[in-house]
């Protein structure tokens, strides 16, 4: 009898902790109806503290990116604007439901939209699977009604695709000697399917970031054929062929997300054009405090484009003057500007159809599923 009572009181204690955490969310973020921030992506959202490869021996996991950056990333800054706690990595938090309710970061630096078959990369499909498993855990812990309220009032932030071009596709361009526009549509198709998977799990607020101007990034300036680098935007050198492909992808993705929003009732999904924001800094750096737009703060060789920033690579004296932190990741100063523009729109209006702040203010009561789906199991 004593053991039975102890188990019963222990179960009550767990439920009370979860309910207190759930009810406190609305009071902890300045009354914005956002329960949590869930992040998927690559090195634009995670610096290497998310080693969640449960099926692989640690010796097979590429850990060269563990010191990839020393900077604050856009999702970190957005979480702060929401008055949420710093979003922890998925690794080590998957069983802590109470902590996970305010958000998790499923991103890893070496992430791709496509499934490459290379052990060094984690695909969007894999990250979505971990996210969906987490949402199912909320159902079990909170009951369906409270879980769906939590999920529909949370924001999911996706930023990836750079590695699909830089590592999976771009090296073959010079061999093939031609571009393949259908590659962008393959990537967009994968992102669209992932967004539908989230939607069917009751996610209703999504931010999708496009890919930045990689053709202006130090890594590609350092390895490109000098004849392919053109001086554009006031004399700034960029590899136009790569940038053109990135813009094809961003344009196709923006249109697909707009169509998806029309297709799926109550979905609020916003596309943020990171390319436009970074090009503004690169082409007109002085008003934003930048002086160096084509050289990495942390790296070696031409333009500081190699290697990714690790323990042995030299850092610049003043990171605040650089647009780029390493071979193709923006600096902290650039990330602060991007986060401000994503949040409030900024002078460029890089997010459409609504800015992050507007999406956050959208009441989850307007976007939940029908009442008949709200019955507890």
Rounded Cα distance between 133 and 156, Å, is: 15
In a domain, 316, yes or no: no
In a domain, 271, yes or no: yes
How many folded domains does the chain comprise?
1
What is the torsional sign of CA 211, 212, 216, 220? negative
In a domain, 268, yes or no: yes
Q: How do the pLDDT tens digits run along the chain, 377 residues long? A: 555 444 444 443 433 334 434 444 444 444 567 889 999 999 999 987 655 544 433 333 344 444 445 568 999 999 999 999 889 998 866 567 888 899 999 999 889 999 877 667 899 999 999 999 999 999 999 999 999 999 999 999 999 999 998 887 765 544 443 467 789 999 999 999 999 999 999 999 999 999 999 999 988 887 765 544 554 544 577 888 889 999 999 999 999 999 999 999 999 999 999 999 999 999 999 999 999 998 888 877 777 666 656 555 567 889 899 999 888 899 999 999 999 999 998 888 999 999 999 999 987 544 444 333 333 33
In a domain, 306, yes or no: no
Q: What is the predicted pLDDT for the residue at 237?
A: 79
**39 phi, psi to nearest 5 deg:** -120, 135
Q: Which domain holds residue 199?
A: 32-278+334-363
Q: What is the predicted pLDDT for the residue at 284?
A: 92
Instruction: Read off the CATH number of the domain in which 161 is found.
Output: 3.40.50
Q: What is the predicted pLDDT for the residue at 249?
A: 96
**DSSP state at residue 166:** I
- Paired strand residues for 39: 105, 157
In a domain, 3, yes or no: no
Rg of the chain over Cα atoms, rounded to whole angstroms, equals 21
In a domain, 308, yes or no: no
Rounded Cα distance between 6 and 2, Å, is: 6
If DSSP codes are grouped into helix, strand and coil, which group holds residue 319?
A: helix
Angle at 176 between CA 171 and CA 181, to 5 degrees: 85
Name every residue whose Cβ is closer than 8 Å to that of residue 300 and which is 6 or more positions away in sequence: 306, 307, 313, 314
Q: What's the pTM?
A: 0.83
In a domain, 342, yes or no: yes
Q: What is the predicted pLDDT for the residue at 203?
A: 97
In a domain, 195, yes or no: yes
Alpha helices in 214-352 (DSSP H): 218-223, 240-263, 274-283, 332-344
């Amino acid at each position: 009898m004593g053991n039975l009572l102890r188990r019963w009181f222990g179960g009550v204690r767990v439920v009370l902790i979860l309910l207190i955490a759930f009810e406190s969310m609305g009071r902890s973020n300045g009354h914005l109806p956002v329960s949590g921030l869930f992040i998927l992506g690559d090195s634009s959202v995670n610096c290497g503290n998310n080693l969640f490869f449960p099926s692989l021996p640690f010796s097979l996991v590429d850990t060269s990116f563990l010191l990839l950056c020393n900077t604050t990333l856009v999702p970190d800054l957005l979480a702060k604007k929401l008055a949420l706690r710093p979003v922890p990595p998925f690794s080590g938090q998957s069983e802590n439901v109470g902590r996970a309710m305010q958000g998790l970061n499923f991103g890893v630096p070496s992430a791709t939209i496509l499934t490459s078959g290379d052990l060094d990369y984690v695909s969007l499909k894999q990250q979505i699977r971990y996210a969906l498993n987490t949402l199912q855990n909320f159902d079990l812990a909170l009951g369906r009604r409270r879980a769906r309220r939590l999920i529909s009032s949370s924001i999911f932030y996706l930023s990836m695709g750079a590695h699909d071009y830089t590592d999976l596709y771009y090296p073959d361009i010079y061999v093939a000697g031609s571009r393949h526009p259908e590659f962008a549509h393959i990537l967009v198709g994968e992102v669209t399917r992932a967004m539908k998977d989230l939607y069917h799990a009751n996610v209703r607020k999504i931010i999708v970031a496009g890919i930045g101007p990689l053709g202006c990034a130090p890594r590609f300036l350092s390895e490109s054929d000098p004849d392919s680098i053109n001086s554009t935007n006031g004399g700034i050198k960029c590899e136009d062929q790569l940038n053109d492909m990135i813009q094809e992808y961003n344009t196709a993705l923006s249109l697909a997300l707009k169509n998806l929003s029309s297709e799926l009732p109550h979905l609020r999904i916003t596309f943020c054009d990171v390319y436009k924001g970074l090009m503004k800094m690169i082409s007109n750096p002085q008003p934003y405090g930048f002086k160096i737009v084509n050289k990495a703060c942390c790296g070696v060789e031409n333009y500081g484009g190699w290697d990714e920033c690790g323990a042995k690579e030299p850092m610049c004296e003043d990171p605040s003057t650089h647009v780029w932190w390493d071979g193709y990741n923006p600096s902290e100063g650039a990330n602060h500007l991007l986060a401000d523009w994503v949040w409030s729109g900024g002078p460029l209006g890089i997010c459409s159809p609504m800015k992050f702040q507007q999406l956050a203010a959208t009441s989850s009561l307007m976007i939940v599923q029908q009442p008949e789906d709200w019955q507890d199991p």
